[in-house]
Amino acid sequence: MSVKLISSNKCFEGEQRIYSHFSNVLGCEMKFGLFMPPAVLEDNITCPVLYYLSGLTCTHENFIHKSGMQQYASKYGLIVVNPDTSPRNLNIPGEDDSYDFGTGAGFYINAKKEPWAKNYQMFSYVTDELVQLINQNFPVVPTKKGIFGHSMGGHGALICALKNPGLYQSISAFAPIANPVECPWGQKAFKGYLGDDQELWKEWDATYLATKYSGNPLELFIDQGCDDNFLKEKQLLPENLLQAAACNDHLQTIYKERVGYDHSYYYIASYVGEHIAYHAKLLN
């Protein structure tokens, strides 16, 4: 699997790069960001890799431009990879009709319902094809992977870890959609991508996955702004995930509430350093 370098900019003695490749899983050209730390560029050291999944309406660019993560990835010697949030330019009827379904809103699940099933396979893309691509083309340590994300991407990070015991050694989430079966965003997406079977929906819901998780011990670092409008509107429901995890001996949680912070990238930029330090401690 080959990649094409689109751009590279020096940043905190590392390089922020953007690549493209053709995804066989998604059936389209995809872009992803990759931060290469100075440990690789200057010392030729293979490094752990940290995957970041973005939220609704985002592309690969939002996290790169707004989070300020590069200074921390440079400091801790992590390669950071951030893919797009959905397939692009497929010309599926309805893919651009709303912000919370279709383009920019893949929800990191594998669609079962037509016409989405052929291409909207974001779970397989993130956990399999993209991982193989990164392992084959970049100097990562394949056994040292972390994953985190924001909102829809926080949901993605959680389900990727809970459905693949042992694949990731560290997991965190900013304001995740923690119980999508019970919130309007999740109900719209799951009905559209999966159909009407709500038992099938539960296979892609972190709260339900947490109730039956039986893999290796896992710690989930959940971060939430207290002034997040989507928290108040019951789109996120972290309390349901925390309750489910508390009843499972295989899971531990860290839950941090951030007084005065909302759902925006100002919030993420304020705490991304803490998250990257958390991942670095577990990965290094």
3 state SS of 278: helix
Q: What tokens appear for 87 in the block?
A: 């397939």
Q: Which helix (H) or strand (E) holds 30?
A: strand 28-36
Domain membership of residue 116 as a residue range: 4-283
Q: Which residues are catalytic?
A: 151, 228, 263
Q: In this structure, are residues 75 and 35 in contact, taking their beta carbons and an 8 Å threshold?
A: no
Amino acid of residue 228 = D
CA 158 to chain centroid: 8
3 state SS of 224: strand
Residues 113, 133: Cα–Cα separation, whole Å: 27
pTM of the prediction? 0.98
Q: Which residues touch 64 (CB under 8 Å, ≥6 apart)?
A: 16, 18, 33, 35, 82
Number of structural domains found in the chain: 1
**Beta strand 251-258 with 170-174: parallel, antiparallel or unpaired?**
unpaired
pLDDT tens across the length of the chain (284 residues): 899 999 999 999 999 999 999 999 999 999 999 999 999 999 999 999 999 999 999 999 999 999 999 999 999 999 999 999 999 999 999 999 999 999 999 999 999 999 999 999 999 999 999 999 999 999 999 999 999 999 999 999 999 999 999 999 999 999 999 999 999 999 999 999 999 999 999 999 999 999 999 999 999 999 999 999 999 999 999 999 999 999 999 999 999 999 999 999 999 999 999 999 999 999 99
Assign residue 223 the CATH number of its domain.
3.40.50.1820
Q: Read off the pLDDT of residues 52-94 as tens digits, 9 standing for 90 and up.
A: 999 999 999 999 999 999 999 999 999 999 999 999 999 999 9
**Beta strand 140-150 with 47-53: parallel, antiparallel or unpaired?**
parallel
Q: Which residues touch 199 (CB under 8 Å, ≥6 apart)?
A: none
Tell me the CA distances in angstroms from 140 to 47, 87, 137, one per residue in order: 5, 25, 9
115 preceded by a cis bond (ω within 30 of 0): yes
Q: Read off the pLDDT of residues 127-157 as tens digits, 9 standing for 90 and up.
A: 999 999 999 999 999 999 999 999 999 999 9
